């Protein structure tokens, strides 16, 4: 990497080299039986240069030919992407516990045994089909640049998703468990999901109207996606955000606080710097209902004439290899502040309503404007404080700037999901459409 950096510096004004090396094991169980085992090794190096205020980018999965990578990077300057930012000099960073040596000893056999154990446990309690995906990963990263930064990172993660599928349906209750090291899932951790599954075993067909709607953590990305898009520095620069001039204004219920916290190393994935070596920090987006900040990478910070906020990550909502991506503004460590009541108490407070346990079509609607219209997969129906069944072919629609002002209560526990760490939230007067 250092040789590549030195070579690139001779033909450019500013240079950055990013490398990643990851090993991922995964196991898939379907209907209680092993369906697939996979081990994937990914490594590569990406190069960014700035020459005459123009940005060049190239990547390779094999660094044997540094000249070819550099030539490709120089050729990409023909795209004339303006880049007037500087790569940061970052030296002292917070010391985070992001790696556990225990995963070095974890085998695919261990993953299979754990999945088999959970399937047998779930099958002994309910009749639904049990599907499980489990995996572990260890990643090493290094970022060097011409400003003098040279930082190495190592992370580990163990994750397992347990699903219980309803008969004759693709709908399922799901829960993600994410840790830095391997830990067996305890029966008590599955109790809530199993209880909800039992209570929603029969199909009901209530009349559609405006009613109370409880978004479970697994469906909360439907709402946070809209807010993330509107507070993204790219949307602010391109004048697409409907809240670009709303900093400091109360847009939501006072109970709502949403923040990004890469430094929280109790969960896997903590980071002291982003993928551009900008230091990370606790970063409020919404605080007690008030819009506090927009977030930026180096590129859009310069475009908006503000300081970068440490949110430049090589990521995409859809598919794509990390090493092949350029950094962009991204909230990779999103949290919603917990409330004061349990999930059971939230459900008990509902006279008539829907629990959004899974969302179909979260991308539907005008995302930047905050609109959503999703299918429920599944949607659980509540009457007089009790779940009495699940609803087929139902939809929930609204706008986040509307419904997030009408929060009834927020769960006192947050749960890891693929989009962040969220509690369940109960909203009032939300439009629900059913076939009745």
Domain definitions of the chain by residue range: 2-195, 201-436
| Spatial distance between the Cα atoms of 62 and 46, rounded to a whole number of angstroms | 10
pLDDT bucket at 92, cuts 50 / 70 / 90: confident
**Each residue of 166-184: pLDDT tens digit?**
998 889 999 999 999 999 9
Percent residues over pLDDT 90 in the chain: 94
Euclidean distance between CA atoms 64 and 60, whole angstroms? 9
Take residue 45 and report the two structure tokens written for it: 């190096």
For the chain, percent of residues with pLDDT exceeding 70: 99
Sign (positive or negative) of CA dihedral 236, 240, 241, 247 = positive
Q: Which of 13, 115, 3, 127 is nearest to 67 (CA)?
A: 3
**Side-chain half-sphere exposure of 137, counting CA atoms within 13 A:** 19
pLDDT over threshold 80, residue 320: no
- Least confident range of 110-114, 169-173, 195-199: 169-173
Bond preceding residue 378 cis, omega within 30 of 0? yes
Q: Whole-angstrom Cα distance, residue 428 to residue 409?
A: 10
Q: Centre a 10 Å sphere on the Cβ of residue 240 and count the other Cβ atoms it contains.
A: 14
Average pLDDT value for residue range 257-265: 97
Helices 108-123 and 187-199: angle between axes, nearest 10 degrees = 40
Q: Which of 218, 109, 97, 113 is nearest to 157 (CA)?
A: 97
CB of 124 closer than 8 Å to CB of 200:
no
Give how far Cα 137 sits from Cα of 10, 334, 410, Å. Answer: 37, 21, 32
Average pLDDT in the chain:
95
Four-CA torsion 373, 374, 380, 385, nearest 10 degrees? -30
Q: What mean pLDDT do residues 402-416 have?
A: 97
Closest-CA residue to 427 (of 128, 218, 233, 215): 215
In Å, what is the CA distance from 367 to each residue of 101, 123, 242, 249, 333?
A: 41, 39, 11, 21, 20
Of the pLDDT bands very low, low, confident and very high (cuts 50, 70, 90), residue 330 is very high
Rounded distance, CA 394 to CA 378, Å? Answer: 9
- CB proximity list for 243: less than 8 A, separation 6 or greater: 230, 231, 251, 291, 401
pLDDT number for residue 319: 62
What's the rounded Cα separation, in Å, for the pair 247 and 257? 14
State both tokens at 366: 């005008």
User: Quick one: which of 202, 139, 150 has its CA closest to 16?
Assistant: 150
Q: Which contacts qualify for 198-202: CB closer than 8 Å, 24 or more apart?
A: 198/126, 199/380, 199/386, 199/387, 199/388, 199/389, 200/166, 200/378, 200/380, 200/381, 200/387, 200/389, 200/390, 201/166, 201/389, 201/390, 202/388, 202/389, 202/390
Q: Which of 404, 370, 406, 398 lies closest to 242 in space, CA to CA?
A: 370
148 pLDDT more than 70: yes
pTM of this structure:
0.95
Q: Is the dihedral of CA 314, 282, 255, 352 positive or negative?
A: positive
Instruction: Give the pLDDT of residue 168.
Output: 87
Cα(174)–Cα(418) distance, rounded to whole angstroms? Answer: 11
- The C-alpha angle 209, 167, 204, rounded to 5 degrees, equals 25
Q: Which DSSP letter does residue 31 get?
A: T
pLDDT at position 377 is: 92
**Which CATH number describes the domain made up of 2-195?**
3.30.2290.10
Greatest CA separation for the chain: 72
Query: The dihedral of CA 174, 178, 184, 186: what is its sign?
Result: negative
Q: What element of type H or E holds 120?
A: helix 108-123
**Residue 74, SS3?**
helix
Instruction: Report the distance separating Cα 30 and Cα 164, nearest Å.
Output: 10
> For the stretch 265-295, what's the b/e string if a residue is b when 16 or more beta carbons lie within 10 angstroms of its beta carbon?
bebbbbbbbbbbbbbbeebbbbbebbbbbbb
Q: 421 vs 1, which has greater pLDDT?
A: 421
């Amino acid at each position: 990497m250092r040789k590549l950096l030195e070579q690139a510096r001779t033909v450019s004004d500013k240079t950055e080299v990013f490398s990643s090396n990851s090993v991922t094991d995964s196991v898939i169980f379907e209907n209680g039986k092993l369906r697939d085992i996979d081990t994937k090794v990914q490594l590569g190096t990406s190069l960014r240069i700035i020459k005459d205020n123009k940005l060049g980018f190239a990547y390779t999965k094999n660094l044997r030919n540094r000249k070819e990578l550099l030539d490709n990077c120089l050729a990409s300057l023909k795209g004339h992407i303006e880049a007037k930012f500087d790569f940061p000099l970052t030296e002292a960073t917070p010391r985070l516990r992001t790696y556990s040596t225990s995963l070095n000893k974890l085998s695919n056999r261990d993953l299979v045994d754990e999945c088999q154990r959970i399937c047998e446990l779930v099958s002994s309690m309910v009749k639904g089909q049990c599907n499980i995906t489990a995996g572990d990963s260890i990643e090493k990263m290094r970022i060097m640049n011409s400003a003098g930064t040279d930082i190495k990172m190592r992370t580990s993660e163990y994750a397992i998703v347990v699903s219980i599928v309803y008969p004759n349906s693709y709908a399922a209750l799901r829960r993600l468990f994410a840790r830095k090291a391997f830990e067996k899932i305890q029966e008590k951790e599955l109790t809530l999901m199993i209880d909800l599954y039992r209570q929603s075993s029969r199909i009901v067909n209530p009349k559609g109207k405006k009613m109370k709607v409880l978004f479970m953590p697994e469906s909360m990305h439907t709402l946070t996606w809209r807010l993330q898009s509107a507070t993204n520095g790219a949307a602010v620069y391109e004048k697409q955000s409907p809240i670009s001039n709303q900093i400091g204004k109360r847009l939501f219920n006072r109970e709502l606080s949403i923040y990004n916290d890469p430094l929280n190393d109790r969960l896997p994935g903590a980071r002291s710097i982003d993928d551009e070596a900008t230091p990370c920090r606790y970063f409020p987006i919404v605080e007690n209902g008030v819009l506090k900040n927009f977030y930026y990478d180096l590129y859009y910070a310069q475009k908006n004439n503000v300081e970068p906020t440490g949110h430049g990550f090589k990521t995409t909502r859809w598919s794509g290899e990390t090493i092949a991506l350029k950094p962009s503004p991204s909230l990779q460590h999103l949290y919603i502040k917990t409330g004061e009541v349990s999930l059971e108490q939230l459900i008990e407070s509902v006279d008539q309503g829907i629990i959004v346990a899974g969302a179909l079509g979260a991308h539907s609607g005008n995302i930047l404007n905050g609109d959503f219209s999703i299918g429920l997969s599944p949607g659980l129906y509540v009457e007089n404080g009790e779940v009495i069944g699940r609803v087929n072919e139902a939809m929930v629609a609204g706008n986040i700037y509307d419904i997030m002002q009408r929060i009834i209560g927020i769960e006192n526990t947050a749960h890891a999901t693929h989009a962040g760490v969220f509690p369940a939230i109960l909203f009032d007067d939300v439009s629900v459409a059913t076939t009745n």
